[in-house]
Chain A
Amino acid sequence: MNRRQAIKRTVLLSGGMVFLKYSLLGQASRLSIPDGSTFGPSEERMLQLVVDTMIPSTDTPGAKELNVDQFVLLMVNDCHTKKDQIAFYSGLHSMDVFVEKGFGQSFALCDIDTRVDALNSMNKKSDTSPELQAFIQIAKNRTIQGYLESKYVMTEVLPHKMIPDPYDGYYPASKLEGEI
């Protein structure tokens, strides 16, 4: 049994504790949520809303359209320490309690501006718990990474050059300052 199969089996065996919607199944076979953490449909929806709030759809697709929520989960589960993971899931799980207390309704029901305010206030030490801060920082860093390093952004928006331009160590700064 290889690693992939082993993890798949663990996920299956853990049954009700970990709920994973079919859209996440591609990644889900790789995920192992830390013991005691919850990741169910409401957390999944919440994470989608968070990445959508961070980088919304405008005239170009936002983080949600680019499935950045799945990337965030993949990275949290594969590339972070257990301590980070526990804080992340705990922060995600407890987010709505914080939002309802501070903004009068659940995150999902808030309008866009209030959601932005809520995420901004979660990052402030005085307002919030260490878990929420850890969650929002990890989610933001990984959302930015997942967005900027998505195929869409790297090919359609800010094309990544596998072969860079010839080096110029005296390139006129004005050409770069003007370019935007």
Chain B
Amino acid sequence: MAREIPATITVLAVLVVVFSRYFAVGAALDLTRVTDRWLMLTYAASVFVGVINLTRLHLDRLRRGKDTRSYDLVLLFVMYGYMALGFAQTNAGVTFRWVYNAVLVPLDSTMYSLLAFYIASASFRAFRVRSFEAALMMVAAALVMIGSVPLGDALSPAFPAARAWLMRVAQTAGFRGIQIGAGLGGLATAFRIFLGIERAHLRA
């Protein structure tokens, strides 16, 4: 029961979408136009999953008296406080937007920009020409880097031209090969889910 019903739902869900796409009757019945809406509602209903998981994790850490207690408290306080503010004001509220622009935006952008420092360090330490393949990779990287900035244009028209060739021919060929492989892999996985061979989600 606990396995059979979910497994049946999975197969039916696949069939509904595939039937509507490939069979005229399915399209005429407008199956997915109705079921798409249902799916969106199930997603919307699950919106609190992240909040509940974070709450459980950090309450658990508070209870166990870990040394991150003050941070756990801050996280819970900020999360519920900001959510309450949003419910009270809507996302268009003055204070809600104030916090969004003053705190969330800079934290998010700066977090990603940190990687620039580690890329710089790795360039010095890890990018070694140990083989012909590594040399190819380094030359491609250097040409793309110099060819995609105005300095490259100013030094020689050969740099942007070499970059353009690399981007449009060589690297596009490589990524197309990789993506065709990945696309076929995705189709195979979807088919395995349909056939019930792939059932990791039923163990959740």
Q: Is B one of A's binding partners?
A: no
Which residues of B does A touch, CB under 8 Å? none
Which residues of A does B touch, CB under 8 Å? none
